[in-house]
Amino acid sequence: MTTGAPLDAAARRRRDFWWIMAFAAVTALLWHTVFLFPLRCFVVLVHETGHALAAILTGAQVDHLVVRPDESGEVLYRGGWPVVVSAAGYVGSSGLGALLLALTAYPQSHRVATAVLGAVLVAVTALFVPFTNFFGFVLGMAWGFLLLHLGIKAYPWLPRFVNFLAVMLCFYAVYDFGDFLLGDPMRTDPGILASHLGMPFLAWPIGITWVVLSLWLMYRGARTAFGIGSGGTKPA
């Protein structure tokens, strides 16, 4: 009989599930504290990197990318497709969180994913973050080289670290959505896009569409992480 492997797989899923739940609890409790400040800045950097990469992929010229100590940021670009570029902050950060969450089911991929993300952050920082934005430049280089180092060394705890990054990215997406739903939508990415289009009334439809798409991506990432719907068992 070969019953050991399925039981081992189920036990691994349960372990991963409770680790991620623990990270989610820590993130929710400590979100506004200084302890998570470096990670909050990381997800702001990812958010702005999403805008920059979307701009490049749609043929735009990126002038600069800025991240500030108050956890705000901006990407100045010319040309491209504003619909795609604007969406790439919200949807891109939550999509990356969902991808990293899904990789929980494929721990051998954590090393590659971490190294690739690190290389992208180093390249984007070197190309687009002006040295006059000293905070943003140091932030991008520090996180980029840290992730490159972790990907190369492949420490045993790397999967847990990737889980924590995934949770932070997903929480930040929800936090951004809260700013949109409860704050001034015209100061958010959907509002800015609606203004570019000359139709401010589209801010809400655009924002809600991005919220639904991002939550769907996170849901799919969680299903993959825990083997739900693919012959696996739900965590118990």
- pLDDT confidence band for 180 (50 / 70 / 90): low
Name the token pair of 25.
């609890």
Least Cα distance to 215 among 164, 172, 170, 166 occurs for 170
CA dist., res. 28 & res. 137, Å (int): 28
pLDDT by residue (tens digit) across 19-63? 988 998 999 899 889 999 999 999 999 999 999 999 999 999 999
CA dist., res. 224 & res. 139, Å (int): 31
SS (H, E, C) 101-158: HHHHHCHHHHHHHHHHHHHHHHHHHHHHCCCCCHHHHHHHHHHHHHHHHHHHHCCCCH
pLDDT at 193: 79
pLDDT by residue (tens digit) across 100-149? 999 988 888 999 999 999 999 999 999 999 999 999 999 999 999 999 99
- pLDDT confidence band for 194 (50 / 70 / 90): confident
The mean-pLDDT minimum among 84-98, 126-140, 143-157, 199-213 falls in 199-213
The answer to whether 50 touches 74, Cβ cutoff 8 Å, is: no
pLDDT higher than threshold 60 for residue 195:
yes
SS (H, E, C) 183-194: CCHHHCHHHHHH
Name the token pair of 66.
């800025």
